[in-house]
């Protein structure tokens, strides 16, 4: 009897881990510099022996490289990510309305697709804000002062302010800290396999599609619950 299921393949997990690591370095050094501590080495700077400004810049280029590799080497996965992130189904509003309680109880309404409605919103926000951060960061690296630098710096700062709570929320959910999300960390970490019970609780439509259950049945169930 099947007890676990693989949600992401090894390549996806590697890209996710690389993105996670680089973004955490960017976030840590970025907030360190925003706090006005440029003259005091951050823990990351002391660990690597690289100045925070240089570490932040190099991490930015590394994120650009990871994003390029993900799009070019994982075209199929990138298409699936975009398609599943922008989808909308009947019952999504109900799912979002019940989410605060479900995050504590684990009693999530059924949804279809690879991501739940909350993940879709987070995915879109993260991608858009990371694009803004990378674009403005590249601009800052290329421009020497002037009005353009001031404008790009302002955009970069505000994108940092906006993406920070989204990233912290993503980490909170992905780590399985909330009771409703216990076991979720295994979907992208620790071998990539998770319990079928966890998959059924969090991604019933995706699990059903793997088992050959048509999405239409899932939609009908949502309507009945609503």
Per residue in 10-41, pLDDT (tens digit) is 777 888 888 888 999 999 999 999 888 887 89
| pTM confidence score | 0.84
Report, as an integer, the average pLDDT of 49-63.
92
The pLDDT score that the predictor gives to residue 190 is 64
Amino acid 3: pLDDT = 84
What is the model's pLDDT at position 212? Answer: 67
**Rounded Cα gap, residues 112 and 115, in angstroms:** 8
Alpha carbon of residue 223 to chain centroid: 29
How much is the pLDDT for 214? 56
**CA nearest neighbour of 68 among 119, 25, 130, 121:** 130
> What is the average pLDDT value for the chain, to the nearest integer?
85
Pick the CATH number of 4-225 from 3.40.50.720, 1.10.3720.10, 3.90.1150.10, 1.20.950.20: 1.20.950.20
End-to-end CA distance of the chain: 33
> Which DSSP helix (H) or strand (E) runs through 195?
strand 193-195
Predicted confidence (pLDDT) at residue 219 exceeds the cutoff of 80:
no
Query: What are the beta bridge partners of residue 4?
Result: 195
Kindly state the tokens that stand for 37: 């501590």
For 203, phi then psi, to 5°, come to: -135, 65
Instruction: Return the domain boundaries, the chain.
Output: 4-225
Is the per-residue pLDDT at 98 higher than 80? yes
């Amino acid at each position: 009897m099947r007890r676990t299921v693989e949600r992401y393949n090894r390549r996806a997990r590697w890209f996710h881990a690389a993105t996670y690591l680089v973004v955490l370095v960017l976030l840590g050094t970025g907030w360190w510099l925003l706090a006005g501590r440029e003259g005091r080495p951050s823990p990351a700077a002391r660990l690597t022996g690289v100045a925070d400004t240089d570490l932040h810049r190099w991490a930015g280029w590394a994120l650009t490289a990871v994003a390029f590799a993900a799009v070019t080497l994982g075209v199929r996965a990138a298409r699936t990510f975009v398609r599943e992130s922008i989808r909308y189904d009947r019952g999504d509003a109900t799912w979002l309305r019940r989410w605060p309680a479900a995050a504590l109880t684990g009693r999530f309404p059924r949804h279809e697709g690879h991501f739940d409605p909350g993940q879709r919103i987070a995915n879109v926000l993260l991608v858009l804000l990371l694009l803004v951060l990378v674009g403005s960061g590249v601009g800052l690296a290329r421009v020497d002062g002037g009005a353009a630098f001031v404008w790009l710096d302002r955009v970069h700062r505000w994108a940092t302010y906006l993406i920070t709570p989204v990233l912290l929320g993503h980490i909170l959910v992905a780590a399985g800290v909330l009771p409703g999300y216990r076991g979720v960390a295994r979907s992208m970490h620790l071998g990539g396999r998770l319990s079928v019970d966890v998959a059924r609780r969090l991604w019933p439509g995706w699990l059903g599609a793997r088992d050959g259950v048509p999405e239409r049945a899932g939609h009908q169930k949502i309507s009945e619950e609503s």
